Structure 1
Amino acid sequence: MDDHQVVGDFHRVKPKRYAPAAPAETAEAGFWRSFRRKATEPLIGNVTAIDFCPSAPYHFAATNSTRVTVYSGLTREPLKTFSRFKGLAYSGRFRADGKLLVAGGDRGIVQVFDATNRTVLRQLNGHTDAVRAVRFALDKVHLMSGGDDCALRWWDVSSQEPLRKMAVHSDYVRCLSTNPASADLWASGSYDHSVLVWDVRVRDPVLRFQHAHPVEDVLFYPNGTMLAVAAGPQVSVWDMLKGGASPTALLASQPPSQQQQGSSIVTSVTSHSRPLYLLGNHQKAVTCLHVTPPISLGHGDRPFPARLLTGSLDGHVRVFSLSDYKVKHMARYDGPILSLGMSCRGTTLAVGMAGGQVAIRHRTPPDSERRHLQLAAAAAAVPRVPGMQKSTTKRGSKGRMHGPLQTANFRYLVRGQTEEAAAEDYLVAQRKRVHLAVHDNKLRRFQHSAALRAAMQDASLEKPEMLIAVLEEMIARNVLANAIAVLPVKSLSRFLQFCRKLVPNPRYSTFLIPILHMVLDLRAQHVAATPRLQQGFHVLAQVVGAEAHALSELAELQGFVLPLLRASTAANATAEGIAAAATLEGGGLEDDTGVL
């Protein structure tokens, strides 16, 4: 039984409910709004990379200027700084176990650090220009790097020598992604508008996806079969199983210098494959992508589904559903966004911006989960009760008693508090004492005029739902006329005050206007003899007249706008018909990306 219990044969009056003026906040919006922003000191330079360690305690690294700053996953405070760079640092990334950290630099050197004591373990020399993207492989002993020399290099960390050089891109390489389902598959994005998919076991790229803008970021989905690409203000979602350009189309004529190095050059090849989805919700270039894992919301709750996060130079982070790619949430930040990341547990979201700002948002566990943890901790604790004699029972190495609990033990008193009801258990509802409101008590005693006065006393101009409900109850009992007939002048004046406020609202006007007619019929003599009531009806007449005048002006405006809307609709339909006819006559138009 709900909060509106029955007292004898009397039912409490429920407040009148109306359809909400604005849609209620969805569970999706509530989840993202539960992240609270933490104040942080701005860093020096642009924050070009954010990377969370996949292992506990989930520290995260922010790459800015000539350093990589590591933040604690517990306190979200700066923990340590890697500053052994001679120039700008790029793409600070953790290894999967969190023991190593790798970063590139504008001097063409890839450095591998011990993540604990910040010692430089390896310096990998091979690039001739800035290294903008670097990532560890899934096997933890190899890594891939790409930079402004338009080349990729596949490294064995132990040998400090590149195992392979892949110079296929014709412009700067800006991003890399490793396939979570296969340690041998990689994707690289470049300012030559292309994304190449590589298998490190073969010489040439196996797939190519062409775009209309320079590629800023590329990301494999956790299942390894989908690929998201940020190019310009759009995000393309590709199906790896469907494929891109044919691998044989990537073999083109090579200049002599490239032939001596044994590498191939990609010429302008039209790819007839199309992305599954093309997301154009941002106004400026999309700079970073991230796919969240399924997130546990608490004890016994369903996990929150995975989402695609996109950050852009327009200062917005948008959250997309992976099922229909609709925008589920949007957040506005103070500056252009260059990087973002989220912890594996889904409790910390970090966003790096131009100018050195790092926006850190943290989500606290739900109340039910915190309460469960508190009870579990209390049950596990064994405090010393004053006056209790020391037991001679054999104890374990940590002092826990073996055997059945004694009544003198504190754990005996808190036993069962963390137990949950099983599916077959019968739950007995506890009877709640019902407290009736004043107007409910009056209605129960059939004191209708007093009930109406009490409802007006309890209600407010901002929340009149209870007064409307009491009036409806009296109409259902057919006693409203009798209650109005004996209503004191002071209470009748307050009722007119409510009507002046509520009559312009369409929710209440159709209900209150017949009641006002009833008041005039029953209390006409009192209104004529009481200046206070005359003034109230005079103001009410002015309110109704102003509302009628506003409706008349809106009707005139509607008559002016409707012909314009109809003309615009007809013009659009004509233009679409002409475009369709031209498409059929020309055999279809298709650009290099394959998107009509």
Structure 2
Amino acid sequence: MTDFKRTEVELKPRGKTKVTAETLYWKNFGSPIAVKDYGAIDYVDFSQEQPYNLAVTSSSKIQIYSSVNAQVNRTLSRFRQRAFGGKFRRDGRLLIAGDEEGDVRLFDTQTKSLLRIFKGHKGPVHRCFFGSSETQVISFSDDMSVCLWDIPSETRLQCIQQHKDYVRAGGMSLLSQDVVVSGSYDHTVKVFDLRNNNCVFSFDHGFPVESLLLFPSGTSVVSAGGTSVKIWDLLNGKILCDLREHHKTVTCLSFARDQGCILSGSLDKHVKVFESGIYKVVHTLDYPSPVLSLAVSPNDMVIATGMADGLLYIQNKKESVEEQNRNLKINKKNKMHYKYRVYNQYKPEESDITVINDEHKKLPRYDHYLRTFQVSKALDCVLRKYVQERKPEITIAVIQELIRRGSLRAAVAGREGKSMVSLFRFVSKYLHDSRFQAILMDVAFILIEIYAQKLGESEQLQQQFNNLKSAIDQEIKILHIFMKIRGTISAVRAGIYFNKNPDICSSTDTLIPNIIPR
């Protein structure tokens, strides 16, 4: 008796993605370490001094983590309500944060002491930053104001009220202590001169502004809100670029690689890496939950990402190949002992008869069902969600085998509920894929022939037919567009050919399709 022939899964080529140096760089970050917190991670920030500790603001506290082992070193809990936007000073010794009561609190990170409380806002303070002089603090509040505070005297120096909605983002120039940028839910980004409280520039972002980044050069600012990330030129007050790579609200921004890259986190669970200058996506980091906050360590070795479900992800960069080889040479030891060596190993000659040890390979479950002629169960096996999403080639291979056997109609018929929905969903989802289209069109015809008579019996079946119809209509629209493009290209090629060969125009019995060069 011959052995059962396994189902051959043909792996059809997909579109190749271009591998660049940036892609390899970001792929070098290892698997993230997940830390669970009590509430959504509002803000994360790295200290600019070694060992680059990480401040994580969540719920009514700020925890300072070690970037080396992801352990909590200190906890700042002097908040009666929610805390927002914990930010280190450049030397890492002080930390500023806002709260839901409208206060701005200043902490000593070494002793966990509360040094100052700046009172004056009438709404929650979501963001606050140290100024370039490091003796001043700027705060942005839901009371639509931007305030400047003096740390030694604990007093408010200035208050700017030119926004018409919550102010949730901002920053202070590192080059000049007189330049402040703020972003508001009134869709505007405003640049203020503190010397006269005047608004120098006002940009319309088009969406509520969630986050801002100022380039250290002071010439550009990056704003995020809605599904858009925009770069503005502060010298002439014009937009440089509008990046729309996310499909949900962009919540946070961060620099990396010495401002060579801009990272944007979104509620669509992705972090996009844009290369500065060309402003193109060079890599995408995927996460299991909506991203609320994001930061990269000054040495670019750690990425911290805060989620809406309270998870904090810390990713450390792996050692480069050169470092691994260097460490391998240092730590390499010859562990080979004489008793493990194989001496005088026999090599077979041409005249020898060799017996190949053909071990029995375990059949996949779908092949087991095909071997026992259980065609419906074989199809059910490859219609599981995991197989559909990760390995659709296996599902197509089994369908092809059923077509070869003449058993596809029997496997498709008699389905109800979840089994029927899975089949319809697979056909609707991959009908547009050119690799599978020819096969799935045959399956679609069989589905229509078998289940069209039962349309009035189930709303679920009606919904699946509507989805299938939408997928087919979309393909028809795309084909119409391609036909128009093809006709336009043919007309252009014909015009070029006639211009080069004017004598052909006088010939009336020459057909245009025959004269167009292939």
TM range (shorter): 0.5 to 0.7
Instruction: Pick the aligned partner of 1:226 from 208, 220, 228.
Output: 220
Q: Is the 8 A contact 2:131 2:174 kept in 1?
A: no
Instruction: Pick the aligned partner of 2:144 from 119, 141, 150.
Output: 150
Q: Per the alignment, do residues 117 and 572 of structure 1 end up closer, same or farther by CA in structure 2, a change over 3 Å counting?
A: farther
Residue equivalent to 2:261: 307
Residue equivalent to 1:288: 252
- Opposite residue 215 of structure 1, the aligned amino acid is V
- Opposite residue 63 of structure 2, the aligned amino acid is T
How far apart, in 1, do the equivalents of 2:440 and 2:293 lie?
A: 52
Residue 281 of structure 2 corresponds to residue 327 of structure 1: yes
How far apart, in 2, do the equivalents of 1:360 and 1:291 lie?
A: 16
Structure 2 unaligned regions, length at least 5: 1-12, 333-348, 357-400, 405-434, 442-471, 488-518
Residue equivalent to 2:369: none
- The structural deviation recorded for 1:25 is 4.5
How far apart, in 1, do the equivalents of 2:484 and 2:38 lie?
A: 54
Aligned length: 361
- Opposite residue 106 of structure 2, the aligned amino acid is V
CA RMSD for the aligned pairs?
4.0
How far apart, in 1, do the equivalents of 2:203 and 2:256 lie?
A: 24
Note the alpha carbon deviations across 1:236-282, whole angstroms, 9 max, x for none.
11111221xxxxxxxxxxxxxxxxxxxxxxxxxxxxx4x22111111
- The structural deviation recorded for 1:570 is 6.3
**SS class of match (2:121):** coil
Residue equivalent to 1:583: none
Residue equivalent to 2:480: 567
- Opposite residue 80 of structure 1, the aligned amino acid is R
Larger Rg: 1
How far apart, in 2, do the equivalents of 1:352 and 1:164 lie?
A: 32
How far apart, in 2, do the equivalents of 1:285 and 1:572 lie?
A: 35
Residue equivalent to 1:122: 116
Instruction: Pick the aligned partner of 2:105 from 92, 104, 111.
Output: 111
How far apart, in 2, do the equivalents of 1:190 and 1:104 lie?
A: 17
**SS class of match (2:92):** coil
Q: Per the alignment, do residues 556 and 369 of structure 1 end up closer, same or farther by CA in structure 2, a change over 3 Å counting?
A: closer
Residue 197 of structure 2 corresponds to residue 200 of structure 1: no
Structure 1 unaligned regions, length at least 5: 1-18, 244-272, 295-304, 379-441, 458-542, 575-596
Instruction: Pick the aligned partner of 1:357 from 311, 328, 333.
Output: 311
Residue 338 of structure 2 corresponds to residue 338 of structure 1: no
How far apart, in 2, do the equivalents of 1:113 and 1:21 lie?
A: 53
Residue equivalent to 1:61: 55
Q: Is the 8 A contact 1:37 1:359 kept in 2?
A: no
Q: Is the 8 A contact 1:96 1:138 kept in 2?
A: no
Q: Per the alignment, do residues 82 and 556 of structure 1 end up closer, same or farther by CA in structure 2, a change over 3 Å counting?
A: closer
How far apart, in 1, do the equivalents of 2:57 and 2:180 lie?
A: 22
How far apart, in 1, do the equivalents of 2:116 and 2:476 lie?
A: 73
Aligned 1:359-438 pairs, distance under 5 A? 359-369=313-323, 372=326
How far apart, in 2, do the equivalents of 1:337 and 1:563 lie?
A: 37
Q: Per the alignment, do residues 563 and 127 of structure 1 end up closer, same or farther by CA in structure 2, a change over 3 Å counting?
A: closer
Out of 360-369 and 25-34, give the one that drifted further: 25-34
What is the TM-score with the length of structure 2 in the denominator? 0.62
**SS class of match (1:215):** coil
**SS class of match (1:229):** strand
- Opposite residue 310 of structure 1, the aligned amino acid is S
How far apart, in 2, do the equivalents of 1:331 and 1:556 lie?
A: 32
Instruction: Pick the aligned partner of 2:160 from 134, 148, 166.
Output: 166
How far apart, in 1, do the equivalents of 2:43 and 2:480 lie?
A: 51
- Opposite residue 243 of structure 2, the aligned amino acid is L
Instruction: Pick the aligned partner of 1:30 from 21, 24, 34.
Output: 24
How far apart, in 2, do the equivalents of 1:235 and 1:24 lie?
A: 24
Q: Is the 8 A contact 1:311 1:340 kept in 2?
A: yes
What is the TM-score with the length of structure 1 in the denominator? 0.54
Aligned 1:58-97 pairs, distance under 5 A? 58-97=52-91
Instruction: Pick the aligned partner of 2:241 from 266, 277, 283.
Output: 277
Q: Is the 8 A contact 2:46 2:295 kept in 1?
A: yes
- The structural deviation recorded for 1:375 is 8.1
How far apart, in 1, do the equivalents of 2:223 and 2:104 lie?
A: 25
Instruction: Pick the aligned partner of 1:181 from 175, 180, 185.
Output: 175
Note the alpha carbon deviations across 1:415-443, whole angstroms, 9 max, x for none.
xxxxxxxxxxxxxxxxxxxxxxxxxxx9x
- The structural deviation recorded for 1:138 is 1.8
Q: Is the 8 A contact 2:38 2:59 kept in 1?
A: yes
Residue 131 of structure 2 corresponds to residue 137 of structure 1: yes
Q: Is the 8 A contact 1:234 1:286 kept in 2?
A: yes
Residue equivalent to 1:535: none
Q: Per the alignment, do residues 346 and 568 of structure 1 end up closer, same or farther by CA in structure 2, a change over 3 Å counting?
A: same
Seq. identity, %: 33
- The structural deviation recorded for 1:210 is 0.8
* Divergent runs of 4+, >4 A: 19-25, 370-378, 553-557, 560-566, 569-574
